């Protein structure tokens, strides 16, 4: 790793020529599960609210009323996307807040009835895991269900874990690292039968998969804007109207008195536009992305001793997470960066940490295998040429790194 870092830094600072070469290289962004670029349409829709339409939505004069109308329009678009009522949507600062609020809000609200148990999975995002661990420290009971080796949660395991005390089941819709899609409808049905609230972190699925909260028995659902070409720092939480969820932060009466704070009008408008755009010809877009992704997977799997992590079939269309034996993922990410390619060596939220991914460990991979895994997350902005370029550069770099590490 150190050898790679040294060679990288000398490459970067070496000469003006090197810099020029770097600028000439192709740029491929394939880390869309970490974040996406803001689309032109989204930016265009936000601009008036960043400039002349700056009113506070609580104001009763025209400028305030216009801001309020813009917020309600966005709320309607999001509600339509998951087939709920607009007054069941609350805007938040993003997926992390939505997840924290969903879990803490339910447990705080139902603990007086003796409901002090939460069920979640071992491979959730840290926004869920750390919220649950914090609640466990405070005396609540938490059960972590492990996925199988394909990265899928067995609904029967959830059913077995439910007790009289269970207030909430929280299972992610699709995993952020390996992209595996969970049996949400079945888990929702079990929860419904047992009278337990079902929350799903749909940050990676929203805008990529058609969601119907009634059909799928979902009571609460977390959304994040920056995964679907809207800005960072905006998200939403859907809460079914019969659910009593306590406040998470305290202040004014915004968001029906449930989520105080002056609304981020431009970002809310952006999220509304992004939602509308994401759902336009969703099937066609997903098919295009899936074809590109499958091409990338088959090219990578031609390289000896590589493996796709997680189920191929039950997987987000843009996700390709692969293990490359004998190669350190961080070195790969940095060397691909020198070729103008952005990918991830795990989830962006854990980068900088030397720990193997908890997601990969949860599906039974060894520390070594987890540390040799990388994630490509492609979207509709990627092309066939991008796939060819990434596969070619990846193959060259793997050969180099394997030679360096004297991999046999
Ligand atoms: N949940 C999942 C599954 C995610 O992938 C992410 C972000 O990567 C989050 C929650 C956190 O969302 P945000 O970045 O909007 O706080």
Q: Which residue in this structure is represented by tokens 């987890």? A: 370
Q: How far is CA 265 from CA 68, 101, 268, 406, in A?
A: 8, 21, 5, 55
For residue 313, the Cα-to-chain-centroid distance in whole angstroms is: 19
Question: Under a CB-based contact definition with an 8 Å cutoff, are residues 135 and 118 in contact?
Answer: yes
Q: Find the farthest-apart pair of alpha carbons in the chain and give their distance in angstroms, rounded.
A: 73
Among 33, 101, 124, 125, name the best residue to mutate to test ligand 1's pocket (greatest count of ligand atoms within 8 A of Cβ).
125
- 203 alpha carbon – ligand 1 mean position (Å): 6
State the closest ligand 1 atom to the C-alpha of 226, by its place in the atom list counted from 1.
Answer: 15
Q: Which two tokens stand for residue 388?
A: 């060819």
* CA-96 nearest atom, ligand 1: 16
Report the pLDDT value the prediction gives residue 346, as an integer from 0 to 100.
Answer: 61
**323's tokens:** 């293990």
For a substitution probing ligand 1, which of 36, 92, 94, 95 has the most ligand atoms within 8 Å of its CB?
95
Rounded-to-integer distance, Cα 129 and Cα 303, Å: 35
- Both tokens of 151, joined, read 């990265």
- Per 3-state DSSP, the chain is made up of helix, strand and coil in percentages (nearest 5) of 45, 15, 40
Residue 398 alpha carbon to ligand 1 centre in Å: 30
Q: Is 349 a catalytic residue?
A: yes
Please give the Cα distance from 125 to 139 (Å, whole number): 22
The ligand 1 atom at the shortest distance from the C-alpha of residue 225 is 15
CA angle (137 as vertex; 133, 140 as ends), nearest 5: 85
Give the integer Cα–Cα distance in Å for 392 and 408. Answer: 21
Structure confidence at residue 5 (pLDDT)? 47
Asked if residues 228 and 98 have their Cβ atoms less than 8 Å apart, the reply is no
Count of H-run helices and E-run strands, the chain: 14, 12
Pair 348, 95: CB distance under 8 Å: no
Look at residue 152 in the predicted model and tell me its pLDDT. Answer: 98
- Ligand 1 atom 8, closest CA: 34
**Per-residue model confidence (pLDDT) at position 135:** 98
Site of tokens 């790679």: 4
Ligand 1 centre and the CA of 96: distance in Å? Answer: 6
**Ligand 1: distance of its center to the CA of 34 in Å?**
8
Ligand 1: lining residues by beta carbon, under 6 Å:
94-96, 99, 125, 127, 172, 176, 201, 203-204, 224, 226, 235, 349
What is the best residue among 36, 96, 97 to mutate for testing ligand 1's pocket, by most ligand atoms within 8 Å of CB? 96
Q: How far is CA 336 from the centre of its chain?
A: 22
**159 class by beta-carbon count within 10 Å (0-12 exposed, 13-18 middle, 19+ buried):** middle
CA of 224 to the centre of ligand 1 (A): 7
Tokens encoding 314 = 């039950």
Ranges of residues in the chain with a pLDDT under 50 are 1-22, 348
Angle formed at CA 74 by CA 67 and CA 249, multiple of 5 degrees: 75
Measured from the Cα of 235, ligand 1's closest atom is 15
What are the Cα distances from residue 285, in Å, to 67, 375, 381?
Answer: 32, 20, 10
**Per-residue model confidence as pLDDT tens digits over 358-389:** 999 999 999 999 999 999 999 999 999 999 99
């Amino acid at each position: 790793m150190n050898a790679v870092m040294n060679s990288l830094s000398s490459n970067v600072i070496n000469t003006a020529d090197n810099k020029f070469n770097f600028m000439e290289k192709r740029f491929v962004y394939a880390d869309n599960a970490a974040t996406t670029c803001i689309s032109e349409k989204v930016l265009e829709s936000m601009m008036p609210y960043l400039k002349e339409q700056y009113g506070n939505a609580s104001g009763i004069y025209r400028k305030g009323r216009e801001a309020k109308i813009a917020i309600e329009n966005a709320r309607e678009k999001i509600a339509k996307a998951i087939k709920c009522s607009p007054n069941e949507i609350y805007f938040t600062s993003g997926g992390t807040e939505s997840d924290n609020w969903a879990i803490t809000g339910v447990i705080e609200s139902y603990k007086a009835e003796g409901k002090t148990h939460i069920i979640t999975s071992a491979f959730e995002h840290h926004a869920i895991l750390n919220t649950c661990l914090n609640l466990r420290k405070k005396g609540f009971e938490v059960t972590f269900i492990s996925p199988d080796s394909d990265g899928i949660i067995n609904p029967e395991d959830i059913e077995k874990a439910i007790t009289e005390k269970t207030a909430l089941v929280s299972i992610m819709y699709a995993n952020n690292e390996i992209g595996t899609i969970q049996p949400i409808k079945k888990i929702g049905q079990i929860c419904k039968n047992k009278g337990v609230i079902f929350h799903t972190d749909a940050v990676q699925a929203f805008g990529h998969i058609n969601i119907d909260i009634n059909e799928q028995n979902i009571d609460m659902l977390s959304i994040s804007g920056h995964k679907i070409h809207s800005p960072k720092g905006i998200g939403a939480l859907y809460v079914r109207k019969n659910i009593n969820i306590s406040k998470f932060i305290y202040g004014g009466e915004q968001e029906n008195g449930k989520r105080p704070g002056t609304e981020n009008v431009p970002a809310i408008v952006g999220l509304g536009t992004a939602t509308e755009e994401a759902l336009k010809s969703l099937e066609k877009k997903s098919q295009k992305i899936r074809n590109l992704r499958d091409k990338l997977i088959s090219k990578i799997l031609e390289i000896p001793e590589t493996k796709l992590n997680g189920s191929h079939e039950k997987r987000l269309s843009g996700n390709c997470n692969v293990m490359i034996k004998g190669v350190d993922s961080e070195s790969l990410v940095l060397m691909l960066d020198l070729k103008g390619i952005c990918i991830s060596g795990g989830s962006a939220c854990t980068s900088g940490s030397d720990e193997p991914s908890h997601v990969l460990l949860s599906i039974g991979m060894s520390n070594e295998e987890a540390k040799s895994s990388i994630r490509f997350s492609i979207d509709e902005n990627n092309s066939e040429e991008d796939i060819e370029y990434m596969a070619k550069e990846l193959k060259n770099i793997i050969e180099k790194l394997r030679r360096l590490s004297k991999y046999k």
